[in-house]
Structure 1
C-alpha cells in the first residue's frame, strides 16, 4: 500500500528534522521568558492573529493561555482590522501574531492595527528579517531552518513550541515545566520512529474512504484541526475537524461505516475520559476509529492507534502533530499525490 522509503519526499525529510529544530528553538526562546513577561506587563487578555496552520497553533495557545496562565484568549478576525477598520480598545491586550514566513500582509497589517488600538505585540515567525518580526514590539524567531515542502511540518511544531514558551512566561506557577521542556526533543525523536506497520494500517483504512472526520478537545484541539487541514491540503480529502462536544450536537448523525474517524488525545487530562467514550460510541456505528496519543484505555477503544509523547498535557501539542504528519505524508504517496506540492497551494498565502 505504501512506499517504505521514508526519504522519498521533502516533507518526510523535514518531518525528520524536527527534534533538532525543536531543540534549537527551545534553547533560543526559553531564556527569553523574562522579556516576554515584561512586555506583557499587566495585560489581562491574549489575542492571536494568524491564518492556516498558524491559526491551529494559536488554538493550542489560546487553550493553554486560559488553563496554564489564567488569561482570557481569543482568535482575531483580521477582517475586523483590515476590511472594517474597526476601533476596538485593546489597551489590556497582548496581541500574538503567528506566521511562519512573517510575510503574509494581512497578518502584518492586523498586527499594526492591534498596536494602534493599544495592544502590546509579540510576533512568532521563522524568518528573522520578515516584516512581521520588524513590526512587532518583540519577535520570537523559531529555529526550524528553511522549509521547502508546502505543508508546514517543522515550522508548525516549532511555532507550537514558541507559543508554549510564551504562555509559560506568563504562567502563575513559574518553572514547573522546565524539566519537561528538556525532554521535548527526545520525545519528538520517539514520535518520528512511530511503528511503521501501524502507520501502514492507518493508511490502508484511510485509503478506503473519501469521508474523514477528526475530533478531539481541550489543549490538544488545535492538533485535531491541524490533522484535518493536513489531510485536506495534502491528500485532497474533505475533512471536518470538530470538538467532540460539538460532534455530539448533531454531526454524530453522519458517522457510519462509510466514514473513517481520527481521534487526537493527550495522554492525560480531563478530556481523556470523554474521548475514550467517544471512541467506543463511534466504533458502535461501524466507523473505523484511528487514534493518535491518549493512554492505554484510549488506544484499546480505537481500532488502530499510535501512542503520543510522554509529556504533560501542557507540552503534548508540541510533539503530537508528528505522527499525524507521518500519516498524511504516507497517505499522499499511497494515493499517488505529491506531498511536497499540494494542488493549488503556495508556501506563502496572501489574503485581503
Structure 2
C-alpha cells in the first residue's frame, strides 16, 4: 500500500494544473497589484518548507525583476512588536495552514505599513488571508503526510506566476504552463543508484546555487523529517569555505544543478569534491568525476531548478521506508506547527 507521501508526490503534476486553472484570477489580480505598485523591494514571511519556497521565490524575483528581496523573521511582529517601514514594498506570506500566529502577525503588520501583501495558502478562508490584501489558494488539495511536498511545489509555482504577471515575462509564463507535463516525467525518474551508494551513511551535504540552493535546503529538511538523517544544505561555493573539512572518503554530497548560469561552476565544485574521495552526485551532464543523477530539462532556468525536487521526493520517501521509518508520520513532528 502506498504511503500518503508517495501519493501526494505523484499528485504534484495534477496539483500544479489545478493551481494554474483554479487560481488564475486570484494570481492575475495579485500580479496586477504588484505591477501597479512597482515595489522598490519585496519581503517574504514564512517558516519551514514554506521558507524554502520563499527562498526560491527570492532568487526568482531578484534575477527577473531586479528588486531586492529579504526574508523577515516573523517574531519581529509577534514577539518584538517592531514597526517596520514597508510602505514602498510588497510582501509575500506563505503558510499552508494559514494560521500560524507569528506569520499572521507579520503579514498584518506589513499590510498596516502600506505594503502590497499577498498570502499564498492552502487553506481559505484563514487568518493569513484576512491579514493580507490579496490571498491566493495554492490549490494543492489535502496534504495528509506530515512532510510537505505538493504544497511546497505549488507555493513556488504560485510565486512564479505572480512574478511573470508582475514583469510580463512571456517566456516564464510559457515555461510555467508546460510544468505539469514536465513534472509527469520528473516524478518518475529513478534515483535508486543514490540509495544503493548511501548505504549506512548517517550524514550528508546537499548543495546548490541560486534557486537550486532553495531545493537543496528543502531536500536536507526532508532527510531530517522522514529519515532522522543529518543533512545540511550549503551554497556550492560556501561549502568550500569551511564545511569541506568534513568531506572525507565516501562522504555523501548531492549537488542540485539547474540549467542556468551557475551550472558549470556547480559541476566543477561537485567534481572537486569527488576528487577528494567524496561520494558525489549531481543533476548535471557537465560533471566529469561526480556521478550524474537523472533530471528533466524544462527549457527555462527557473523551472529547471524547481523540477529537481520531484525525483528527490520520490527517492527520500523510498529511502525512509527502507530504513524502517514511516514517512507519513515522523516521530515528534506534527502537520501544523503554530509558533508565536
TM-score band by shorter chain is over 0.9
Structure 2 portions without partners, runs of 5+: none
In structure 2, the partner of 1:4 is none
Distance, in Å, in 2 between the alignment partners of 1:202 and 1:26 is 33
In structure 2, the partner of 1:281 is 272
Tell me if structure 1 keeps the 8 A contact 2:77–2:102.
no
Distance, in Å, in 1 between the alignment partners of 2:305 and 2:292 is 20
C-alpha RMSD of the superposition: 1.6
Tell me if structure 2 keeps the 8 A contact 1:29–1:165.
no
Tell me if structure 2 keeps the 8 A contact 1:15–1:322.
yes
The 3 A distance-change label for structure 1 pair 30 and 273 is farther
**Would you say 1:334 and 2:311 are equivalent positions?**
no
**Would you say 1:158 and 2:142 are equivalent positions?**
no
Of 241, 244, 260, 2:252 maps to 260
Give the deviation of 1:269 after TM superposition. 1.4
Tell me if structure 1 keeps the 8 A contact 2:23–2:139.
no
The C-alpha deviation readout for 1:90-148, integer Å capped at 9, x for no partner, is 01111110011112111111111112222221000111111112221101111111000
Distance, in Å, in 1 between the alignment partners of 2:215 and 2:160 is 14
Distance, in Å, in 1 between the alignment partners of 2:244 and 2:165 is 39
Distance, in Å, in 1 between the alignment partners of 2:312 and 2:220 is 9
Give the deviation of 1:187 after TM superposition. 0.7
Distance, in Å, in 1 between the alignment partners of 2:95 and 2:319 is 27
Give the deviation of 1:87 after TM superposition. 1.8
The C-alpha deviation readout for 1:40-79, integer Å capped at 9, x for no partner, is 2132111000000000000000011111112110111112
Distance, in Å, in 2 between the alignment partners of 1:180 and 1:110 is 32
Distance, in Å, in 1 between the alignment partners of 2:234 and 2:298 is 24
Of 239, 244, 247, 2:239 maps to 247
**Would you say 1:21 and 2:15 are equivalent positions?**
yes
In structure 2, the partner of 1:121 is 117
The C-alpha deviation readout for 1:261-318, integer Å capped at 9, x for no partner, is 011011x211101111111111011111122x33x223x5422512234231122243
Distance, in Å, in 2 between the alignment partners of 1:183 and 1:34 is 18
Q: For residues 169-248 of structure 1, what are the structure 2 equivalents within 5 Å?
A: 169-171=165-167, 173-195=168-190, 199-248=191-240
Tell me if structure 2 keeps the 8 A contact 1:47–1:74.
yes
**Would you say 1:54 and 2:28 are equivalent positions?**
no
Give the deviation of 1:30 after TM superposition. 4.4
**Would you say 1:65 and 2:61 are equivalent positions?**
yes
Structure 1 portions without partners, runs of 5+: 1-6
**Would you say 1:104 and 2:100 are equivalent positions?**
yes
Equivalent pairs counted in the alignment come to: 338
Give the deviation of 1:322 after TM superposition. 0.7
Tell me if structure 1 keeps the 8 A contact 2:27–2:136.
no
In structure 2, the partner of 1:3 is none
Give the deviation of 1:258 after TM superposition. 4.6
Secondary structure (helix, strand or coil) at the match of 2:69 reads strand
**Would you say 1:297 and 2:286 are equivalent positions?**
yes
Q: For residues 302-341 of structure 1, what are the structure 2 equivalents within 5 Å?
A: 302-341=290-329
Give the deviation of 1:33 after TM superposition. 4.8
Distance, in Å, in 1 between the alignment partners of 2:236 and 2:41 is 26
Of 73, 80, 87, 2:76 maps to 80
The 3 A distance-change label for structure 1 pair 157 and 67 is same
Give the deviation of 1:174 after TM superposition. 3.1
Distance, in Å, in 2 between the alignment partners of 1:37 and 1:18 is 23
Give the deviation of 1:29 after TM superposition. 3.8
Secondary structure (helix, strand or coil) at the match of 2:293 reads strand
Give the deviation of 1:38 after TM superposition. 3.1
